[in-house]
Amino acid sequence: MTQGSSRIKAVGQAVTLADMVPLIWRRRGGALLVFAVFLALSVFLVPLWQPMFRASGQIGFLPSIPAPLALADNAPPAPVFQISDLDTEMAMVRGTAVLSAARAVLQGDGIVFDPKPSRLARWLGIKPVQDTMVVPPGMTAERMRENRDIAILRGKIKTAQINNARVIEISLFDPDPERAREMLDAVIDSYVWKRENDLRRKLADQYDETVRQRAQADAALAHIQQELIDWQDRHPLTGFVAGVGGRGAAGSGDSDLGRELENIRAQRQAAQIDLLAVQARQQAIAATLGDVAHLMKLPEIANSETVRELNLRLAVLRGTKADLGRRYGPRHPLVMANDAQIAQARHDLTSAISAQIAAIDRDAQNAATRLGAFAQEYNRVMAQAAGDNRDRLAFDQLSRKLDAVTAEVSVLTDRARIMQSELAALRPDVEIVQIPETPGKPVFPSRKDIAVIAIALSALLAMAAAILREYFDRALHRAGEAETLTGLPVFAVLPRVATRPPKRVAEEENEAIGHLQTIIRLRRDTGRNVNHEGSGDASGGRVVCITSPMPGEGKSRLAQKITARFAQNGQRVLLLDGDLRRPTLEKQPIAGRVGPVDSNKPDFSLVLQGDAALDQAIFPVRLPDDHDGTPGDVYYDFLGAEDAVSSALAGQLMAEKLLGLMQDLRHRYDYIVVDAPPVLAVADAIWLMRAADDRLLLLRAQKSRRDDILDAIQRLEQADCAADGLIFSGVSRRGAYYGGKKRRTRP
């Protein structure tokens, strides 16, 4: 990029504080409009504002305790009110019960809850809510009015805790300061009355409940006493006697029955042991299976005197038999007599053993009979003891019940007496710490505050509107902005021109074009084209190329004006329409064209293609007289395409034939004014700018966008045909040059 373009300010650069004042000054029209609109709106709305007055009062809670009740382990009673209950109390202040009582008081004082219609509502003809109220089915009008009044009163009240103390601050807001105080007085008095009434009713309910419980305890005491009397009547000889407090003591029968039970238990255990021993003998005898030898080994058999004598006799006879058998032989009468004795002895021994076994069986039967008798006696004594125990347990239970009910009656009697004294000397646990007073000034925001805020807000909105307008407006409005944005000098500033401009505007436009003509001449005299490719020598004609970033910015009109100005100064001038894609002749005829209009006449495109000569394509244009508008004697030549050319062909012709054609035209004319197409639309403008000596970029106020301008300049610089200067058009008359009767200066 060139040195001038390096000073281009980046798009979207942050606006500093130093830029704010000139920025707002540039946009002062819109800022003042926004400020005036909002200020006028504020002037209309501020008188409609109804300031609110705040009446406040404070309520403190005392750490009182209730009437003491019967508590276990003599624990101290908990306080009635704690700091954690403040939220509940603040809700009760705004509750329906308190507000309903306050409403009744206020209605008695003649205070109306219906809000007065505001000035705006009266001006708009809006009817009050009470006049348009519709009573729904199932609700009376009085009930609906009460609900509405309570809702209005609740909306006016605010509650807050004072630090960590047991104090609630109650505030009420209303447009009327006196009414605010009266309403708050009614609310606080209603709350204190309700609080005291609730405490009294709660204590009265507890007292009634205690009296009811004492009556029940008295009835239970009488019933238990009657049960104890009935029990004693049913058990006159049980051995129990009445003791202190109605309890009974056991007599001597209890100890005799115990000793008898112990004796029977010992006899039963002894009989059981005997039975087990006899049964063990029987089992040992049964295990021998009737074998005499094995039976003789049992102590129960062997220890019998008869069995032992018979067994000894049998042993003696067997020894005698052995001796006789060795001496006489087995058939000797003595031996045979001895055998008969042995058989008899064996029989007697077997009979004795059987008798001993029968004796053991009898002992077992006797032991079982004795054990059964002892067990039966033991069960009888146990049943008698159980009956006595049940009687004693029933007596003990009746005695304990009697003691418990007696103690309960005593506690409830004491409680009822204390509650009755507390109820008679009841003192509320809440007091008014600060009495509401009539507020002297309204709370924020008052009308004065609203007015100051409205003025400040209007100023802020005005500045915001100016900043937003500057930020979002991408178009240029002044020549200085173009210079700052691009870093290029502004050669001329043209006024905004209508279709039929006034004489003064036309004069200002002519002065600006004359200034531009002077700059072009000075550039020619100083040789300001040595760096341009395709430029001719100092003796040749001067090529002035005019282009713009986008279409519709007035470059064709400017080219015609410059051409006419050069022609009026006696210069040989050619106006070259370089737009082959949308030629001027295709859109509209050239005013003042000399000669017949022939559609088959050669044009600029045919000259570039080599199918026609320059003289065939160029035609003269006569300028009108400045005084009466009739055709004058001043002419300039025009060269342009009659019909549009395709994009591919146009680009090829410009790239290959344009420079040679320009050299030929330089020898024919003093000035060749080129009306180039927009830079961002087609690439033909690049070739035309490369062949020019003076490269001018036309910008239009309120139309040319900053992004398009920077993009166009960047493309020209990349093609090494940067613009030499700017022409800024479409500004107000105060931004153009002087003209007419009043002298004007350039900003």
pLDDT (tens digit per residue) in 583-642: 887 777 777 777 777 767 888 888 888 888 888 888 898 887 665 555 667 889 999 888
- Residue count (the chain): 747
Lowest mean pLDDT among 289-298, 532-541, 590-599: 532-541
Q: Could you report the per-residue pLDDT of 179-231, keeping only the tens digit for each?
A: 999 999 999 999 999 988 888 888 889 889 999 998 998 898 888 888 888 87
Give the best-scoring range by mean pLDDT among 4-13, 180-189, 429-438, 733-742.
180-189
Which has the higher per-residue pLDDT, 668 or 15? 668
430 confidence band (pLDDT: 50, 70, 90):
confident
pLDDT at 375: 82
Phi first, then psi, for residue 68 (nearest 5°) are -65, 140
706/704 Cα distance (integer angstroms): 7
Provide the pLDDT for residue 6. 35
Strands 542-547 and 430-434: unpaired
Q: What is the pLDDT of residue 221?
A: 84
To the nearest 10 degrees (0 to 180), the angle between helices 253-287 and 333-424 is: 150
Q: Looking at residue 7, what is its pLDDT?
A: 36
The pLDDT value recorded for residue 82 is 66
CA 558 to chain centre: 63
- In the predicted model, is pLDDT for residue 684 greater than 60? yes
User: For the residues 675-696, what does the mean pLDDT come to?
Assistant: 91
Instruction: For residue 353, give both structure tokens.
Output: 């053993």
Give the gyration radius of the chain's Cα atoms: 68
Predicted confidence band at 675 (pLDDT cuts at 50, 70, 90)?
very high
Which uninterrupted H or E stretch holds 136? none
The CA distances from residue 70 to 73, 82, 214, 660, in Å, are 9, 22, 13, 124
Contact 581, 684 (CB under 8 A): yes
Q: Report d(CA 53, CA 444) in Å as an integer.
A: 9
DSSP assignment of 557-589: HHHHHHHHHHHHTT--EEEEE--SSS-HHHHSP
pTM over 0.95: no
Between 204 and 498, the more confident residue is 204
The pLDDT-based confidence of 537 (bands split at 50, 70, 90) is low
Q: What is the mean pLDDT of residues 396-402?
A: 82
Is the pLDDT score of 34 beyond 70?
yes
- pLDDT score for 9: 43
In whole numbers, what is the pLDDT of the chain averaged over residues? 80
pLDDT digits (tens, 9 = 90+) for 83-122: 667 888 899 999 999 999 999 999 888 888 766 666 666 6
Query: Does residue 281 carry a pLDDT above 80?
Result: no
- Position 531 pLDDT exceeds 80: no
Q: Is the pLDDT confidence value at 483 over 50?
A: yes
Q: What is the reported pLDDT for 75?
A: 43
Report the share of the chain in percent with pLDDT over 70: 83
Helix (DSSP H) and strand (DSSP E) numbers for the chain = 22, 14
Instruction: Specify the 3-state DSSP secondary structure of 619.
Output: strand
- Residue 602 confidence (pLDDT): 85
The confidence band for 526, taking pLDDT boundaries of 50, 70 and 90, is: confident
Share in percent of the chain as helix, strand, coil (round to 5): 60, 10, 30
Q: pLDDT value at position 246?
A: 44
SS3 label, residue 649? helix
β-partners of residue 620 are 637
The whole-number average pLDDT for the span 560-584 is: 90
Cα torsion 14, 19, 24, 27 to 10°: value is -70
Pick the residue with more confidence: 578 or 78?
578
Report which of residues 168 and 240 the model is more confident about: 168
Among 16-20, 175-179, 196-200, 716-720, the range scoring the smallest mean pLDDT is 16-20
Q: In the prediction, which pLDDT does 43 show?
A: 86
pLDDT for position 158: 94
Positive or negative, the Cα torsion across 524, 528, 533, 538? positive
Q: Give the model's confidence band at 3: pLDDT under 50 very low, under 70 low, under 90 confident, else very high.
A: very low
Q: Please say if the pLDDT value at position 10 is more than 70.
A: no
| pLDDT confidence bin for 698, thresholds 50/70/90 | very high
Phi, psi of 220 (to 5 degrees): -65, -35
- pLDDT for 355 equals 83
pLDDT surpassing 50 at residue 746? no
